[in-house]
Structure 1
Amino acid sequence: MAERYSSFERGGRRWLWQRITAAFLVVVLAFHFFLLHFVNHADEVTFAASQARMETLTYFSLMILFLVTATFHGVNGVYNALVNQGLEGTKLSVVKWTLVVASAVLIIQGVRTALAWSGGIPL
């Protein structure tokens, strides 16, 4: 019988957060798909309408949470895939910190873009 192998520690938080973020992303992606493909068809989506959505605190907050969640989920998945492939030691540490810095840059730029798109902090 095949041996089970995973970089996630049994009972560890990274495993749990990977599942929680996956569930959240499925719900948010379903919301996004419904909103932009059924409520508003793709050819009807305009910059002005998107900006108007971003001006509401609920939508703005959801998009920021989506950005942070998707970034964590993706980076955590890549990191654990590399651990599963046998990466360790200094190389793993370099990859880990590269992913941390890239994540921070992505989140900072995403928040800056969202703030610009919303016209500042939504009320």
Structure 2
Amino acid sequence: MAEHYSSFKRGGRRWLWQRITAAFLVVVLAFHFFLLHFVHHADEVTFAMSQGRMQELTYFSLMVLFLVTATFHGVNGVYNALINQGLSGTRRKATKVVLGVASIVLIVQGVRTAIAWAGGIPI
């Protein structure tokens, strides 16, 4: 019988957060598709409409949370896939640092873009 192998430790938080973020992403993506593909069709969506949505604190907050969640979920998945492929030692540490820095840069730039799109931080 095949052995169970995973880079996630049983009962570990990274495993749990990977599942929680996956569930959140499914819900937010469903909301996105419903709003932007059924309520408004793609040919009706304008920059002004998108900017108007971003000026609402609820929508703005959801999109920033979506950015952070998707970044964590993606980076955590890639990191653990690399560990499953045998990444170890110095390369593992370097990969962890590079992915961590890339995550921070992505989130900072994404939040800056969201703020600019909203015309400032929504109140």
Find runs of 4+ consecutive structure 1 residues off by over 2 angstroms: none
* Deviation at residue 100 of structure 1 after TM alignment: 0.3
For structure 1, the 5+ residue unaligned runs are none
Which amino acid in 2 is paired with 1:95? T
Where do residues 46-85 of structure 1 align in structure 2 (5 Å cutoff)?
46-85=46-85
Q: Identity of aligned pairs, percent?
A: 81
Which residue does the alignment assign to 1:6?
A: 6
2:3, 2:45 → 1: CA distance? 49
Which residue does the alignment assign to 2:99?
A: 99
2:118, 2:111 → 1: CA distance? 10
1:45, 1:97 → 2: CA distance? 39
TM-score normalised by length of structure 1: 0.99
* Deviation at residue 87 of structure 1 after TM alignment: 0.3
Where do residues 32-43 of structure 1 align in structure 2 (5 Å cutoff)?
32-43=32-43
* Deviation at residue 30 of structure 1 after TM alignment: 0.1
TM-score normalised by length of structure 2: 0.99
Which amino acid in 2 is paired with 1:63? M
1:6-57 residue CA offsets vs partner (Å, 9 max, x unmatched): 0000000000000000000000000000000000000001000000000000
1:121, 1:86 → 2: CA distance? 43
Which amino acid in 1 is paired with 2:64? I
